[in-house]
Amino acid sequence: MSLPDLEIRPYRPGDEHQILQTFNLVFREVCGPGYQDRTLEQWRWQYQDNPHGQRMSLAVAPDGTVVSQYAGVPMVADTPYGPQTFLHCVDSMTHPVWRGGLKRPGIFVITGLPFSAHSRRIGDALLYGFPVDVAFRIGQRHLEYHFLRVIDYLIRDVAAGVPPAPAAITVERVPAIPPDIGALLQLWRDPRQCLLRRDYRYLTWRYCAIPSHADYELWTARRHGRLAGLLVLRPVHELAPDACTIAEWMVPGLDADTAAALLAVACRRAHEGNRKRVLAVFAEPSREWQSFQQRGFARVPSATWMERRLVYLITGSPITSELLEQQWWYTLGDSDLV
């Protein structure tokens, strides 16, 4: 079959069944025996239920087989230029029977080019992701991927013990995002210049509506009843072996007591779960990057296990590479890595 036999087009309702067939075929091969097929419920959460919709470009064969997919999860980011749409590019794939080499644009590229073109037309600001090696090389050559940085982890060994927690801060595990999150967001947002908007709607979708919500723990910190911080943990996670991973961290930068209280929770939960390490990710220029190292976290290259590269493509707005390098604030929860 030749490439002209394929239809390159956006997602249409009902495509999800063929998408999942190809997705599970591809990722069973990539991930090996431990892979669990993605379900329709998981797909609907990520794409249909996302408060900001979805972006998807497909290559479809005459028999309806989804041969290739380039997909993204739109989210609102607050920037110096006002609210902007950032797209986390995920779940890109090509059916094994149709894969090409790197010497010429293959189906993956032909599927991806309309995706970025559409983002430019409608004013999306940024595409970003963490591609595997092959996708990274193809993306650099054909899809205008720009390399930002290799992700390093911040890791604290559980053997170091549980740090003390200030008595003035009350911590509690909660079943849902607290309704007064907005007040905390206003305090925490400053002075961060570029980051995803972590409002009640987004956080509820990301951590509570997700089918795997039982994998996450939500912890609040309060001072005299007032919300002072939010921690989202994934107590069992294998981004690094035997890790307890911090997915979300909302603590105003100068509030040392709240930071100490929530870090004590993370270390205690790791100890209780017989995990070996607590893991976090922040942008290296951030205040949290320095603060966590002062609290016993060591910098460990992701390449110790599998190198993770953050890449981007600016598709609109006045956003610059300098802003992303110096001011873009993120956690692991901004990705599909946790």
217-261 residue pLDDT tens: 999 999 999 999 999 999 999 999 999 999 999 999 889 999 999
What is the domain partition of the chain in residue ranges?
3-150+308-334, 152-304
Q: What is d(CA 111, CA 45) in angstroms, rounded to the nearest whole number?
A: 23
Phi, psi of 95, deg, nearest 5: -55, 135
**Region 181-192: what's the mean pLDDT?**
90
pLDDT for res 134: 85
Tens of pLDDT, residue by residue over 285-308, are 899 999 999 999 999 999 999 999
**Region 118-130: what's the mean pLDDT?**
97
152-304 has the same fold as 3-150+308-334:
yes
pLDDT for res 3: 59
pLDDT for res 31: 83
Lowest average pLDDT, out of 37-51, 102-116, 189-203, 268-282, goes to 102-116
**Region 163-174: what's the mean pLDDT?**
96
Q: What is the DSSP string of 248-275?
A: EEE--TT-HHHHHHHHHHHHHHHHHTT-
pLDDT for res 103: 46
**Region 69-83: what's the mean pLDDT?**
96
Lowest average pLDDT, out of 32-36, 82-86, 214-218, goes to 32-36
Is a pLDDT exceeding 60 seen at residue 146? yes
pLDDT for res 102: 42
* Token couple for 171: 């911590």
pLDDT band at 34 (very low <50, low <70, confident <90, very high): confident
Lowest average pLDDT, out of 37-41, 107-111, 263-267, goes to 107-111
Classify domain 152-304 at the CATH superfamily level.
Gcn5-related N-acetyltransferase (GNAT) (3.40.630.30)
CATH number of 3-150+308-334: 3.40.630.30
Q: What proportion of the chain, given as a percentage, has pLDDT over 70?
A: 97
Residue 221 contacts residue 256 (beta carbons within 8 Å): no
The whole model's pTM is what? Answer: 0.94
Residue 61 contacts residue 52 (beta carbons within 8 Å): no
Residue 239 contacts residue 338 (beta carbons within 8 Å): yes
Amino acid at residue number 55: R
**Region 120-148: what's the mean pLDDT?**
93
> Which alpha helices (DSSP H) does the chain contain, by range?
16-31, 40-43, 107-122, 133-142, 181-189, 200-203, 256-272, 287-294, 321-327
pLDDT band at 97 (very low <50, low <70, confident <90, very high): confident
pLDDT band at 100 (very low <50, low <70, confident <90, very high): low
Is a pLDDT exceeding 80 seen at residue 104? no
pLDDT band at 1 (very low <50, low <70, confident <90, very high): very low
How far apart, in Å, do the first and last CA atoms of the chain sit? Answer: 38
Give SS3 for 210.
coil
What is the chain's mean pLDDT, rounded? 94
* Token couple for 277: 């390490």
Q: What is d(CA 311, CA 54) in angstroms, rounded to the nearest whole number?
A: 20
